Amino acid sequence: MRKPSLRAGKSILATALLAGLMACSAGFARSKPVALPDPTLDLPSTAAAGEQTAVFAGGCFWGVEAVFEHVKGVRQATSGYSGGNSGSAEYDTVSTGRTGHAESVKVVYDPSKVSYGQLLKVYFSVAHDPTQLNRQSPDVGTQYRSEIFTTSDAQQKVARAYIAQLTAARVFPAPIVTRVEPLKAFYPAEAYHQDYLKLHPNDPYIVYNDAPKLVHLKQLFPTLYKGG
């Protein structure tokens, strides 16, 4: 499990947030889901079942992983690190913010059931706040940045087009700061990070920062939401 000092730090902070910021959550947790338009450009769906991979970074990977685990068509979501090298892909090192890594989630999905564009819509609407630079909720540092790591030129084209579409529509009150870069490598995180929300649903950090994302997912995407 997570080292006591690291986990305790997040839990203490989250407890303070719960006690003092429930009535004023601006800057820490989005109070309402953001309804977004469908992407005008998307990757074509396939008739036959298969597997494709997408990688997203948007704050602490616990919540991002949990969101995508509850999307129909997603076969697996794995917390990990992207953006740096293999030698620094370790939690304590990444947490310094000096490795180039971002806490990321690898999403393996069936394109016959959910499209890349739909995953982007989930990512921008409920998985994180794309207007926060190098932070999400109470977590601050480059390792918490908003970034899409694309696995193909086609993914990069769709991701950039959707950002341009959302920017033109002015759906957010501030500019989108999400980066789009080709994926160089994905390194799975330590075992105690995997399925963290499922295994620790009562952790104050989870209760305040991540559990609401699942509520928003169910509200905005009732046909895509899967329980469990």
Catalytically active residues, by annotation:
60
Pairing assessment for the beta strands 102-109 and 52-58 based on DSSP bridges: antiparallel
d(CA 15, CA 202): 11
41, 154 Cβ separation under 8 angstroms: no
d(CA 182, CA 180): 7
Element spanning 80, H or E: strand 74-82
Burial (CB < 10 A; 0-12, 13-18, 19+), residue 179, is: middle
Query: Cα dist. 178→11, 48, 123, 159 in Å?
Result: 27, 32, 11, 10
Element spanning 57, H or E: strand 52-58
Residues in Cβ contact with 133 at an 8 Å cutoff, skipping those fewer than 6 apart: 145, 146, 177
